[in-house]
Amino acid sequence: MTLATLAEVLQPAYRDGYAVGGLVCLGWEDMRAYVRAAEAEGLPVILQAGPSCRAHTPLPVLGAMFQSLAESVSVPVVAHLDHGYTMEECRAALDAGFTSLMFDGSRKPLAQNIDETAAIAEMAHGAGISCEGEIGFVGYDAGEESKGTDPEEAAIFARDSGVDAMAVSVGNVHLQRNREGGLDEARLRAIEAVTEIPLVIHGGSGVPVAQRAALAHSSAVCKFNIGTELRMAFGTALRTAVSADPDRFDRVQILSEVEPPIEAAARGVLRAFGPDREAAA
């Protein structure tokens, strides 16, 4: 299947009550494991190239990799720019074949965030692709503190920015390795009450799995970004593969043993908030 846009995979999720995984990519091995996991589960997947991924691999190369992987499976695959900070970066991703642009203006005043996000959304829609924005600020574990999304500001942002999906800050934190606390469901419900748009949770690794699944099937949250827990699975699998034979040096052989555990982890992630197949049956 060729690449899909973010709107093409999130609108059915919004309508039918489930969520799609935005899986954070760092290299070929995890990307390939993610699309294989999606194919095995029969579910769409969003491949996300964040700032650290882009620092390692140029956007045109990433676009070609995502395109190749999308053509290798029968399920929808979205090529998503995660946390683009400038118009130039977003335009470069569009030119590289990405089908979804996430512009992060969350550190900026509301009016500026809306104006800049709206310009990105207009550019994306003019090219037939999608745009995600962020209102409120999702902080970082042991780093910048979050600023919770104000429901009234969220309503204005959703109305005026033109985005296809809106990331919110409701207790979620980037790079969190434990699952303590969970999301502020009262704030999330207040945002839902004044908007009609698919919502996105960044920092999904820090959200308890049961809460992720419950919200995927009972709220407007249609996309969970999952990175840290899959990177941890990669690290564990890599250490195991390297330690199995201290004399082994061939990276292809080593990494071939890393992909199956990542694929298994990704399958579990995607399955947990995918469609309720029993109900559908």
pLDDT in tens, 54-81: 999 999 999 999 999 999 999 999 999 9
Neighbours of 196 (CB within 10 A): 10
Closest among 68, 19, 65 to 44, alpha carbons compared:
19
Q: What is the pLDDT of residue 178?
A: 61
Mean pLDDT of 220-238: 93
Q: What is the pLDDT of residue 152?
A: 95
Percent of the chain with pLDDT over 70: 93
pLDDT in tens, 6-29: 999 999 999 999 999 999 999 999
Which residues participate in catalysis according to the annotation?
82
Q: Cite the DSSP H helix spans in the chain.
A: 6-16, 28-41, 51-56, 59-71, 87-95, 110-126, 151-161, 185-193, 209-218, 228-244, 251-256, 259-273, 277-280
Q: Tokens 């049956």, residue?
A: 281
Q: What is the pLDDT of residue 147?
A: 76
Domains and CATH numbers, the chain: 3-280 (3.20.20.70)
Model-level pTM?
Answer: 0.94
Mean pLDDT of 155-167: 97
Q: What is the pLDDT of residue 281?
A: 44
